Structure 1
Amino acid sequence: MAAETEMGIIEDCRQLWRKLPLPTRIMIGKRIRFISEPLLAASIPTAGPYPRHSFQSVTILGSFSSPIGHGVAAKLLDYELRSRGIIVRRIDASEWIGAPIDAKLAIRSEEPAPDDVLIVALNPDVAIHALAKLGKEKLRNRKVIGYWVWELEVVPRFWKLAGRFAHEIWTPSDFSAQALKKLFDIPVHVVPHPVALLPPPAMTVERRAKGREALGVSDTAFVGIQSFSLASSLTRKNAIGAISAFVAAFHDQPDARLILRYLSGDRFPNSLQRLREAAKVAGPQVILRPAGEGLEDLHDLYAACDVYISLHRTEGFGLNLAEVMMAGRPLIATKWSGNLDFMDVKCVALVNADLVPLDDPDQVYSQKSGRWAEPRMDEAIRWLRTLAQSPDQRRQFAEAAREMAIAELSGNAVQTLQRPLRADS
């Protein structure tokens, strides 16, 4: 009963916090972080000596029960390591870091074995909290790897605190690696998310028909989709840009539809309101859908659509884009940032972009010296019209994209984990 009361109080506090204006939350958060994170960091042992042997077992600290990208990434890493014979234990940090939780994804956390390598599949802004909760006794005398990713060329300086606790860093793209190397003086290795190791969702004719019926669209209507989390910044994901391009491309085709599937609307009500206003102005061609539990609703949308649209301003990797490629759906994407590790003009309709100073009204990103992409809308509109008129082009892109994803995203975590030690390491 006491535990239930405590959880109720915590949830009430979270609800009050979410009702505060976003600028107020950001200001308070920065001030709390300035004080709390150094204190937490002081309680965590710095990276020290560890047994030098061939690593055969791992504990992953990640947000396993959360549907966010980091949760998916932790599960992909778990799957790859197990499939290659590595013993894996898991610790779910979702509740520790305040991540949204999907009960269907819940796991039972396990105790790390003394010889386990600890892979922290949480970015430094929350990793410090999780490591402090884990406790210093479980960190001493073991190798610690930070599996981190960043979406801009400039990494937040407060991340450097977490570098004290890691022996090396893994990150899923070269774009992210170059950014991290500017801040950290420990080894940084590119370890892509192994999307190609999982069986892709079934894209059957029956599933397509059922998905279209649920959306209320005809068999012949051209359908585009985008799926994103508002926690990742509505402006970075540029869904409003996708709305503008789609409506401009199909103003004379009233049955065309753009489906925007979103997560974390309750946590970012201001962003959700902006999205709703843009959709209202666009009219019935744009349909907003909150994400359901699990991934079945997303896979249903993949089956129902003709193209996936991502006019993003930047991606640290682009996990959703890789999943679309494996699902065999054609893709329009911005020609900038981490997604270029696994796509080119032969398999994706890439939209050129101009680099502009960072300006994020959602305040998820605030680096003063940062920049990101401004996709060229005229190119996006041309690609939408081209793909709508050419089923053959869509099919060619889809087939080539899956081949590219299989070639580039079949995993190298075990090779990185067990690579020979240098003589000076």
Structure 2
Amino acid sequence: MGIIEDCRRLWRTLPLSTRLKVGKRIRFLTEPLLAASIPAARPYPQRSFRSVTIVGSFSSPIGQGIAAKLLDYELRSRGIIVRRIDASEWIGAPIDPQLAIRSDDPAPDDVLIVALNPDVAIHALAKLGKDKLRNRKVIGYWVWELEVVPRFWKLAGRFAHEIWTPSHFSARALEKLFDIRVKVVPHPVSLLPPPVMTEERRAKCREALGIPASAFVAVQSFSLASSLTRKNAIGAISAFVAAFHDQPDARLVLRHLSGDRFPNSLHRLREAAQVAGQQIILRPAGSGLDDLHDLYAACDVYISLHRTEGFGLNLAEVMLAGRPLIATNWSGNLDFMDSECVALVNADLVALDDPDKVYTQKAARWAEPRMDEAIRWLRKLASDPDQRREFADAARTRALSALGGNAVETLQGNETPDN
């Protein structure tokens, strides 16, 4: 394990452009070989399924890991027997020891749900082995953030009988590439207890950050592995400073993950924050989610001027936590929000241009949020606590009604026609 970690650490010191080029060539050579070792999907006996095995990055704090845990929780709460296989180490995902689980062996009749996107799912399935894949139903629980899906994903479609994805935006993209059924299965965020928001927690977190009790505070949390440009935290910095240049006590707190894996992106973020001055606080993510929930408690508004989202897990959680939200009026998050419950920022659709090179699809596009609208919403919500409360209450109600989950119905083939 020490040698593997040393190699990974050395790999991360290489420029991102070099890693992407080398990774693409390695994938071109190795993935067909890995795919050849995985049984292709074949017809399976029609029956009522009552047990599943989920393959996911359970011990990782990344979005796919959270999605796997949410699916696990929903299925168990509805009486489905669930076994879990943690693939975090297999796919090189960051591991949080607090989230570690012990993997199970799948039972012969289990449906296998692969809660890993195709770029890493092939590696996990190859590691799992033929014997655990043969003669069972396989579902790919995948999500994509653009309207154009990477072509190399199609290889993974050979091993799946159907695809689940958490939003209609993602479903429309996946349907263009795959010739198997795509079903919308939203993340069941509202089934979990929402983060506890108390005045004591709010005061304690603000004190730790050195923020006055009366200051207006906005928060954004994101992973640099998801592309700094897509998450548009630098855009949030620009809008915040423009909105509150005359309010030196106002603060924007940016919680970030995976800085060690994407040092160039972290450098760009730090440069932007330094230029903006003391109003911007950068905060590396801690272990677990307590530090994120502390920030929810401390903030007056959560801001996400994202260029695109496949779903938007953080946004859903913010709504359930009862915090007002400023978000881009585009992509997967619109499945569970509208202008009645969220301060939506309109955007222009422009050609994809990701200097982080996380997204490289030709002919793809994403949103360019309108900064003047973001600035107006920041100022409006800072000056109008009644509007903040109105948005927060409406957002919680909307999220509770929209995000209760439908995985069991989909598993049993009783999903609504809309899916």
* TM class by smaller structure: over 0.9
* Residue of structure 2 aligned with 1:273, choices 267, 280, 305: 267
Partner residue, 1:134: 128
TM-score norm. by structure 2 comes to 0.98
1:261 maps to 2:255: yes
- CA–CA distance in structure 1, aligned partners of residues 228 and 327 of structure 2: 16
CA drift of 1:420 comes to 5.2
- CA–CA distance in structure 1, aligned partners of residues 45 and 60 of structure 2: 32
The letter of the residue matching 1:285 is Q
Partner residue, 1:3: none
- CA–CA distance in structure 1, aligned partners of residues 213 and 123 of structure 2: 50
Q: Which runs of 5+ in 2 are unaligned?
A: none
- CA–CA distance in structure 1, aligned partners of residues 297 and 50 of structure 2: 39
- CA–CA distance in structure 1, aligned partners of residues 377 and 18 of structure 2: 40
1:67 maps to 2:67: no
- CA–CA distance in structure 2, aligned partners of residues 19 and 82 of structure 1: 41
- CA–CA distance in structure 2, aligned partners of residues 114 and 223 of structure 1: 52
* Residue of structure 1 aligned with 2:159, choices 154, 165, 171: 165
What are the Cα deviations for residues 118-144 of structure 1, in whole angstroms up to 9, with x where unaligned? 000000000000000000110111000
Superposition map of 1:206-217 within 5 A: 206-217=200-211
Partner residue, 2:185: 191
The letter of the residue matching 2:221 is S
- CA–CA distance in structure 2, aligned partners of residues 416 and 118 of structure 1: 14
Task: Tell me the SS of whatever aligns to 2:287.
Answer: coil
- CA–CA distance in structure 1, aligned partners of residues 240 and 171 of structure 2: 33
Superposition map of 1:22-41 within 5 A: 22-41=16-35
- CA–CA distance in structure 1, aligned partners of residues 268 and 11 of structure 2: 20
Q: Which runs of 5+ in 1 are unaligned?
A: 1-6
* Residue of structure 2 aligned with 1:392, choices 372, 386, 391: 386
* Residue of structure 1 aligned with 2:342, choices 328, 339, 348: 348
CA drift of 1:211 comes to 1.0
Partner residue, 1:4: none
- CA–CA distance in structure 2, aligned partners of residues 135 and 50 of structure 1: 18
- Which deviates further from its counterpart, 200-209 or 120-129? 200-209
Partner residue, 2:50: 56
The letter of the residue matching 2:266 is L
1:147 maps to 2:172: no
CA drift of 1:15 comes to 1.1
- CA–CA distance in structure 2, aligned partners of residues 240 and 386 of structure 1: 21
Superposition map of 1:367-406 within 5 A: 367-406=361-400
Task: Tell me the SS of whatever aligns to 1:45.
Answer: coil
The letter of the residue matching 1:227 is S
1:97 maps to 2:91: yes
CA drift of 1:56 comes to 0.3
The letter of the residue matching 1:413 is A
What is the CA RMSD across the aligned residues, in angstroms? 0.7
Partner residue, 1:205: 199
* Residue of structure 2 aligned with 1:295, choices 277, 289, 308: 289
Partner residue, 2:226: 232
Task: Tell me the SS of whatever aligns to 1:396.
Answer: helix
Name the CA shift for 1:420/1:402 in 2 (closer, same or farther; >3 Å): closer
1:413 maps to 2:407: yes
What are the Cα deviations for residues 279-337 of structure 1, in whole angstroms up to 9, with x where unaligned? 00000000000000000000000000000000000000001100100110000000000
What are the Cα deviations for residues 40-90 of structure 1, in whole angstroms up to 9, with x where unaligned? 001000001222110000000000000000000000000000000000000
The letter of the residue matching 1:183 is L
What are the Cα deviations for residues 361-395 of structure 1, in whole angstroms up to 9, with x where unaligned? 00000001110000000000000000000000000
CA drift of 1:412 comes to 0.3
Superposition map of 1:8-27 within 5 A: 8-27=2-21
- CA–CA distance in structure 1, aligned partners of residues 378 and 17 of structure 2: 36
TM-score norm. by structure 1 comes to 0.97
- CA–CA distance in structure 2, aligned partners of residues 241 and 354 of structure 1: 14
- CA–CA distance in structure 2, aligned partners of residues 417 and 174 of structure 1: 18
- CA–CA distance in structure 2, aligned partners of residues 21 and 337 of structure 1: 30
1:334 maps to 2:328: yes
Partner residue, 1:315: 309
1:360 maps to 2:354: yes
